[in-house]
């Protein structure tokens, strides 16, 4: 049964806790153990998780609880997966297209920065 993550921008720690079926203190612990996991903080200092954070947490839970990885093993596996994703992205785009796409993103960011100044 595939878990469906609600279509929201941000999730509070209690919501994420219910989605994953773990206690909030487990999420806070995982945050200290996995560098890839960096939820934002509201002005009230409450954690705000993005959808990709929830997806990462689901993967961490799978590795630890289903695949029986250690914390260190799960950390290494996630880093390997990240490297593989980058490699696949580079293979999907020819070098020229990759550079053009990055140049366009850079130009867009500069335009947004200028508008906000």
Predicted local confidence at residue 55, as pLDDT: 93
Q: Where are the domains of the chain?
A: 11-116
User: Per-residue pLDDT for the chain (117 aa), expressed as one digit of tens each?
Assistant: 467 888 888 999 999 999 999 999 999 999 999 999 999 998 999 999 999 999 999 999 999 999 999 999 999 999 998 888 777 766 666 667 777 888 899 999 999 988 888
11-116 belongs to CATH 1.10.1660.10: yes
Parallel/antiparallel/unpaired status of strands 11-12 and 40-41: unpaired
Report yes or no: 28 and 60 within 8 Å, Cβ to Cβ: no
Query: Which residue's entry shows tokens 């630890």?
Result: 64
The span from the CA of 60 to the CA of 57, in Å, is 5
Question: What's the predicted TM-score (pTM) here?
Answer: 0.70
Looking at residue 2, its pLDDT comes to 60
Of 3, 29, 28, nearest in space to 14 by CA: 28
Cα–Cα distance measured from residue 44 to residue 33, given in angstroms and rounded to the nearest whole number: 24
Looking at residue 107, what is its pLDDT? 93
Q: Which residue, among 63, 5, 3, has the nearest Cα to 34 in the 3D structure? A: 63
Q: Give me the pLDDT at residue 74, please.
A: 96
Check residue 85 and give its pLDDT.
Answer: 79
């Amino acid at each position: 049964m595939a878990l469906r993550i609600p279509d929201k921008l941000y999730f509070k720690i209690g919501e994420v806790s219910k989605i994953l079926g773990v206690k909030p203190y487990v999420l806070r612990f995982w945050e200290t153990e996995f560098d890839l996991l960096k939820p934002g903080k509201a002005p009230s200092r409450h954690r705000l998780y993005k959808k990709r954070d929830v997806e990462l947490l689901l993967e961490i839970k799978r590795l630890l609880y289903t695949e029986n990885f250690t914390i260190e093993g799960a950390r290494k596996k996630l880093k390997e997966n990240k490297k593989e994703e980058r490699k696949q992205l580079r293979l999907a785009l020819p070098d020229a297209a990759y550079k053009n796409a990055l140049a366009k993103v850079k130009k867009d960011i500069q335009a947004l920065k200028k508008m906000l100044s």
